[in-house]
């Protein structure tokens, strides 16, 4: 849950950065959607009395791998609008893979 919270923040922060750079409304809409997921997970973290890894600071992550990934994705996404769109696709692909792996782990015999 803690990792997912920071992963959602990664997505939100990347979308915010490329929205600020390129101004495409889709990036702003997706950033707001990611914020909603962050809020849901944040409430669960609070409910269970866990230490939330997320702060209010944009671009700052507790997990060093996520921090590095953020820097890499934003650097690539700021090169061009096309690269920004590719980064958006990459983020969504990462999310889909995470969901598939999570479902597979929860299934007694795989799928």
Mean pLDDT by 10 residues, the chain (111 residues): 94 98 98 97 97 95 97 98 98 88 66 50
Q: 56: closest CA among 42, 66, 70, 74? A: 42
Contacts 24+ apart (CB under 8 A), 59-65: 59/13, 59/17, 61/6, 61/9, 61/10, 62/6, 63/3, 63/6
Q: Give the pLDDT confidence score for residue 107 in this predicted structure.
A: 62
* pTM of the model as a whole: 0.89
Residue pair 78/84 in contact by the 8 Å Cβ criterion: yes
Q: 69: closest CA among 91, 48, 54? A: 91
Q: Which domain CATH number covers 81?
A: 1.20.1260.10
Write b or e for each residue in 54-84: b if 16 or more Cβ atoms lie within 10 A of its Cβ, otherwise e. beeeeeebebeebeebbeebbebbeeeeebb
Say how many domains are in the chain: 1
Q: In this structure, is residue 24 part of a structural domain?
A: yes
Q: Give the pLDDT confidence score for residue 98 in this predicted structure.
A: 79
Q: Which domain, by its residues, includes 39?
A: 2-106
Q: In this structure, is residue 55 part of a structural domain?
A: yes
Q: Give the pLDDT confidence score for residue 110 in this predicted structure.
A: 53
Q: Give the pLDDT confidence score for residue 103 in this predicted structure.
A: 65
Q: Give the pLDDT confidence score for residue 20 in this predicted structure.
A: 98
Q: Give the pLDDT confidence score for residue 95 in this predicted structure.
A: 87
Q: In this structure, is residue 19 part of a structural domain?
A: yes
Q: Under 8 Å CB-to-CB from 38, ≥6 apart: which residues? A: 5, 8, 9, 12, 54
Q: In this structure, is residue 111 part of a structural domain?
A: no
């Amino acid at each position: 849950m803690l990792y997912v919270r920071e992963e959602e923040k990664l997505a939100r922060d990347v979308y915010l950065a490329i929205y600020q750079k390129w101004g495409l409304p889709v990036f702003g809409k997706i950033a707001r959607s990611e914020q909603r997921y962050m809020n849901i997970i944040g409430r669960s973290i609070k409910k269970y009395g866990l230490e939330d890894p997320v702060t209010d600071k944009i671009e700052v992550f507790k997990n060093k791998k996520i921090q590095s990934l953020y820097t890499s994705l934003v650097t690539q996404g700021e090169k061009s609008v096309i690269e920004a769109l590719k980064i958006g696709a990459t983020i969504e692909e990462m999310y889909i893979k995470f969901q598939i792996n999570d479902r597979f782990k929860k299934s007694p015999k795989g799928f």
